[in-house]
Chains A and B, each alone.
Chain A
């Protein structure tokens, strides 16, 4: 069985969780033997942009030493054979062009979605 996680809710508690919870879930499920890929849409397409830096969170003497590194997490997912897609129209709407994208992220136009979705037995929208 193949499954596709569609991630639309973006940067929800990423500072608290030190990752995106669904990107993490995707990695953990793949680690357990699942065939799961990722499609970024809406604000979540920004996860695919290079050079993000979430360092600097601190309260009094407490400092967050391990901030979220979503770019690294996506790169790791891709390096391990996972497919990461990003919706082209949502990238354009946010002024994100291809050179800004992390290597291996595959932009996908809306008309191509039905064919992509047809390749998965389960599609889960987060």
Chain B
């Protein structure tokens, strides 16, 4: 059996602010389906992507209840990607920059997300065949 491909990603955008976040999740999904060992280092606003308190809301403009609207929540996408990676024989290790978490009061993350440091990003990069940075742009 071939060794799973190891890839790492550094993400920086806060949730609900940029299409880059959706693009990043799409790339993670492809890697998860291929059984890759995926490592994510979430920096600055990206540490809120797996924030556990994200909630659905109703949308009066759409005329839909919270259930009907079924608003997209990044935490659920990330949780699903962690499961998807495991289902295909890979893994998704999501590391949140700890200081970035602290300054945002964002410590309540979904299961499978852990706290780390820039040293973890360096380790992830060393263990991967390549690393993609998706940075916040002005």
Please state if A34 and B122 are interface contacts (CB–CB under 8 Å). Answer: yes
- The answer to whether A124 and B133 touch across the interface, beta carbons within 8 angstroms, is yes
Structural contact, B118 and A122, CB atoms closer than 8 A = no
Q: Is the CB of A32 within 8 A of B125?
A: no
Size range of the interface on A? 10 to 19
Supposing A9-B138, A12-B138, A21-B43 touch, asked if A29 and B122 sit within 8 A by C-beta, the answer is: yes
Q: Which range holds the interface residue count of chain B?
A: 10 to 19
A32 and B131 contacting across the interface, CB-CB below 8 Å: no
Interface SS of B by simple majority: mixed
Q: Are A28 and B118 in contact (CB under 8 A)?
A: yes
Nearest chain A residue, comparing its CB with the CB of B130: A122
B8 nearest CB neighbor, chain A only: A122
Residue in B117, B118, B125, B138 whose Cβ sees the most chain A Cβ within 10 Å? B118
Q: Which residues of A contact B (CB under 8 A)?
A: 1, 3, 9, 12-13, 21-22, 25, 28-29, 31-34, 36, 122, 124-126
Q: Please, could you name 12 A-B residue pairs with CB atoms under 8 Å apart, sorted by A? A: A9-B136, A9-B137, A12-B136, A12-B138, A21-B44, A25-B121, A29-B118, A31-B119, A124-B10, A124-B133, A124-B135, A126-B133
Give 13 new A-B contacts, CB below 8 A, not counting A29-B122, A32-B122, A125-B133.
Answer: A1-B126, A3-B125, A9-B137, A9-B138, A25-B118, A28-B119, A29-B119, A32-B117, A33-B119, A122-B131, A124-B131, A126-B12, A126-B135
